[in-house]
Chain A
Amino acid sequence: MTVVSIVTLICLLLAVFCGLVVGPTSIGTSRIIGSLFAHLGIGHSTLDTMQTTIVWQLRAPRLVLGLLSGAMLAVAGGTYQGVFRNPLADPYLLGVAAGAGLGATFAIMDVGHAVSTPTWTPLIAFAGAMLAVGCTWLIGGRGMSSNASTLVLAGVAVAALLTSAQTFLQQQASANSIARVYIWLLGSLASASWSSVNLALPYVLVCITICVLCGQALDVMSVGEDEARSLGLPVRRVRTLVIIASSLGTAAIVSVVGLIGFVGIIVPHIVRLVVGTSYRRILPISVVVGAAFLVFADTIARTAVSPSELPLGVITALVGAPVFVLVLSIRRTQQ
Chain B
Amino acid sequence: MSAIDIKNLTVKAGAKTLVNDVTLSVEAGTWLTIIGPNGAGKTSLVETVAGIRKIDAGSIAISGEDIRGLSERERARLVALVPQNPLVPGGMSVRDYVALGRTAYHGMLRAPSAGDRAIVDSVIERLSLQEFAKRNVATLSGGERQRMVLARTLAQSTMVVVLDEPITGLDLRHQMDLLELLKKEVADCGLTVLATLHDLTLAGQFADRLVLLDHAQVVLDGPARDVIRNAELASRYGMQLRVVDVDGADVVVPVRS
Residues in chain A within 8 A of chain B (CB atoms)? 213-214, 216-217, 219-220, 222-224, 226-235, 238, 272, 276-278, 280
Contact = CB atoms under 8 A, between A and B. Distances in A.
B71 interface: yes
10 contacts: A216-B111, A217-B109, A219-B96, A220-B108, A222-B89, A229-B51, A229-B72, A232-B156, A233-B72, A238-B108
B108 A217 contact: yes
Contacts of A276: 91
A224 B87 contact: yes
B86 A223 contact: yes
B50 interface: yes
B83 interface: yes
Contact of B108 (A223, A226, A230, A234): A234
Contacts of A230: 50-52, 76, 80-81, 83
Given A214-B108, A216-B109, A216-B110, A226 B52 contact: yes
B90 interface: yes
Given A220-B103, A223-B87, A226-B52, A231 B109 contact: no
Interface of B: 47, 50-52, 71-73, 75-77, 80-81, 83, 86-92, 96, 100-101, 103-104, 108-111, 156
A217 B107 CA distance: 8
B83 A232 contact: no
B101 A231 contact: yes
Contacts of A224: 87
A117 B104 CA distance: 51
A232 B92 contact: no
State the main secondary structure of chain A at its contact with B: helix
Contacts of B75: 232
Contacts of B110: 216
Contact of B76 (A223, A226, A232, A278): A232
Contacts of B72: 229, 232-235
A280 to B, nearest CB: 7
B92 A222 contact: yes
A231 B157 CA distance: 11
A231 B76 contact: yes
A95 B60 CA distance: 41
B111 A223 contact: no
A191 to B, nearest CB: 37
A234 B71 contact: yes
A92 B110 CA distance: 29
A233 B92 CA distance: 18
Contacts of B101: 231
A136 B76 CA distance: 31
B151 to A, nearest CB: 13
A226 B50 CA distance: 10
Nearest to B99: A219
A276 B80 CA distance: 27
Contacts of B108: 214, 216-217, 220, 233-234, 238
B52 A232 contact: no
Contact of A280 (B50, B81, B103, B111): B111
Contacts of B76: 230-232
A222 B77 CA distance: 20
A228 B104 CA distance: 10
4 closest residue pairs by CB, A with B: A232-B76, A232-B104, A277-B91, A222-B89
B87 A227 contact: yes
B42 to A, nearest CB: 16
Contact of A227 (B81, B91, B104): B81
B33 to A, nearest CB: 19
A63 to B, nearest CB: 31
Contacts of B92: 219, 222, 277-278
Contacts of A228: 103
A276 B89 CA distance: 12
Given A277-B90, A278-B92, A229 B52 contact: yes
A19 to B, nearest CB: 33
Contacts of B104: 231-232
B103 A277 contact: no
B40 to A, nearest CB: 20
A232 B87 contact: no
Nearest to A276: B91
Nearest to A220: B103
A216 B87 CA distance: 17
A209 to B, nearest CB: 11
Nearest to B110: A216
Given A222-B89, A231-B100, A234-B71, 20 more contacts: A219-B92, A219-B100, A220-B103, A222-B92, A223-B86, A227-B81, A230-B52, A230-B80, A231-B104, A231-B156, A232-B72, A232-B76, A232-B104, A233-B103, A234-B73, A276-B91, A277-B89, A278-B92, A278-B96, A280-B111
Contacts of A233: 72, 103, 108
A226 B96 CA distance: 19
B83 A226 contact: yes
B120 to A, nearest CB: 13
B111 to A, nearest CB: 6
B83 A227 contact: yes
A96 B103 CA distance: 32
Nearest to B89: A222
The residue among A219, A231, A278 with the most chain B CB atoms within 10 A of its own CB is: A231
B13 to A, nearest CB: 10
